[in-house]
Amino acid sequence: MLVDVPKQVLVTGASGRTGFAVFKLLWENQKEFVAQALVRSEKGAKMLEKLGASVGDSESIKSSNAKLRALGMPAEDEDPDIFIGDILDGDSLAPALRNCDALVICTSGVPQLRKTELFKSILSKLIGRQRMPKFYYKEMPEQVDWEGCRNQIDAAKEAGVEHIVLVSSMGVTPAKNNDDNILNQIGDGNILVWKAKAEAYLAASGVDYTVIHPGGLLNKAGGEREIVLGVNDELLDGYEARGATRAIPRQDVAMLIVQALRHKELVTNKSFDCVSKAPGEGRTTVSFAPLFEALS
């Protein structure tokens, strides 16, 4: 790719909380990035339209433009920034990935709390009993985190994408990824099993990749904490020794992703974990290249 030419980046799952944060940050840095988004519905598209992104011209306008061009009159179709598609339908991914330099995968199975569970949990707490709330998935992790992720990797490879950044989760190493892991127990989804399988598929794809494993995701402001990186789930048990918590704001994860796109040469074919220190502890992270360089 030519120097100073903005990278064209597709963010999937862009209407989710983490995906939205990534797309927004890319959209705000248009000198460096041409941000595109894949969402599942028009409702998701409307969230991004508030940022100024567009779904492009309607079919009726495209038809009208075609007629004008046939008459020799200038009429260009507006290219979309937002694509509506389904990661379980590989054919719907191709238009969104056309001419893209990078793909950021933010899709993931999302557990839902059953309506009666909140009441039951509160009642159990009042009578002094410990009770694990029951969750369910609208779409199981096997579909979203494995099949959907595999489809995205295949489509990106077919489109000639040069870099895939996958947002996964801590806990995917064999030592932690077992039946006792609470994340696997939620909704009987075995979500870490399927995330690990997708990571292995990506690593074997031949496409340059970066895998980011966030700790617990916080809906807090970014840019206010010191970010701590590790590998191989060492932070799950060793976060306190690093002066950190086991969590990180989504906005800081979004910044890590954008920095990974900026410093591809430092994170190519690497996987790393990320958490943060509490606000006021340590020094707010402003330089990311040294963090990446320190990864083993």
pLDDT(129) > 70: no
* pLDDT average, residue stretch 33-52: 95
Q: Stretch 28-56: mean pLDDT, rounded?
A: 94
**Section 274-278 average pLDDT:** 97
* 63-119 per-position pLDDT tens digit: 554 544 565 655 454 578 999 999 999 999 999 999 999 999 999 998 887 776 566
Give the residue-averaged pLDDT of 228-233: 96
Each residue's pLDDT tens digit, 188-200: 999 999 999 999 9
Give all strands (DSSP E) within the chain, no chain letters.
7-12, 33-39, 82-84, 102-105, 111-113, 135-137, 163-167, 209-214, 216-218, 227-230, 247-249, 270-276
* pLDDT score for 66: 55
- Which tokens is 200 given? 């292995």
Amino acid at 8: Q
Compute the mean pLDDT over every residue in the chain, rounded to the nearest whole number.
89
Does residue 60 have an active-site annotation?
no
If phi > 0 it is left, if psi is from -120 to 50 it is alpha, else beta; for residue 10 that is beta
Crossing angle, helix 17-27 and helix 250-262, to 10 degrees? 50
**What's the pLDDT at 94?**
96
44 burial type by CB count under 10 A (0-12 exposed, 13-18 middle, 19+ buried): buried
pLDDT at 61: 41
% of the chain exceeding 70 in pLDDT: 85
Per-residue model confidence (pLDDT) at position 8: 98
Q: What is the pTM of this model?
A: 0.88
Quick one: average pLDDT of 147-166?
98
Contact 138, 112 (CB under 8 A): yes
Question: In the structure, what pLDDT confidence band is assigned to residue 133 with cuts at 50, 70 and 90?
Answer: confident
Residue 275: its pLDDT value, please? 98
Quote the CA–CA distance of 213 and 233 in Å, as a whole number. Answer: 9
What was the pLDDT predicted at 222? 95
Residue tagged active-site, from 15, 169, 271, 276: 169
**Rounded to 5°, angle at Cα 184 from 40 and 149:** 35
3-class DSSP state for residue 232?
A: coil
